[in-house]
Amino acid sequence: MRIREVCVLSVAAMVVMLTTVVGQSRANNERLVPYTVRLVQRMEGPVSGSTVALVFTTAQRSDGAQMRRQEMIGPDGKIRSSERTIELTDGTVASFDAISSLRTTTYDSTRKWRNGIRSTSSGCVKSAAGTTMNAKEVVVGKDLVDRYEVIKISHSGNHIWVAPSLGCAVLRAQYGPNLRVAETIVGGEPSAEPFAVPVTYREVPPSQFFRLPPGKAASDRDAFYHSHRPR
């Protein structure tokens, strides 16, 4: 290979590298949009004609902290299960069970929290760190949910509708035959309640909290837990 060809290839490689670095830098400096969204999936209850609701609530603060809560509400309106997870930018991840009053908490200062947040400037297909969210995801079109313009993203027969103007919040989701529709969409900083830490809950390792069967998966989760306790 001639020297000139080597130089051209080197310059091209450098351009690609700089483009990647600049893209990631812009993503890291992207302003995160706060929101709270409540999706509801309704399904047939144990008695004919009755309905059980699965409620999925997601909240994001402008500092990048996220909360996810999943609840099951019976035909009588009572909450049958309620689990909530918060992920903070300092590396803290904590899950709480409102029924059993248990919690499990880890701390990892090296945790790359931006990898789990979709970037609005990328059309919600990349993370806030500039990395691809999922190489198998395909953007299939645009739509409107409530008053928000959304992008429909599909993967393996499942679909999500995300709103770039609302921090790429998922405003509708379909997993197989199960459809989750937005019942509440609120822009702005979430209230303090979704991120509150219930001090009276008993701290347990993940194998107990998530009721994991004995085996390597449970052992690995517990090993990580014991080596990443909060400071």
Over residues 137-156, the pLDDT tens digits come to 999 999 999 999 999 999 99
Over residues 65-122, the pLDDT tens digits come to 999 999 999 998 899 999 999 999 999 999 999 999 999 999 999 999 999 999 999 9
Q: Which of 135, 136, 125 is nearest to 27 (CA)?
A: 125
- Answering whether pTM is above 0.85, one says no
Q: Note the pLDDT of residue 44.
A: 81
Specify burial of residue 154 (Cβ count, 10 A radius: 0-12, 13-18, 19+). Answer: middle
Q: Which of 164, 167, 170, 195 is nearest to 183 (CA)?
A: 170
Over residues 158-205, the pLDDT tens digits come to 999 999 999 999 999 999 999 999 999 999 999 999 999 999 999 999
Pairing of strands 202-203, 102-107: parallel
- Cβ proximity of 124 and 142 under 8 Å: no
Q: Note the pLDDT of residue 8.
A: 43
Q: Note the pLDDT of residue 63.
A: 95
Top CATH class of 35-227 equals mainly beta
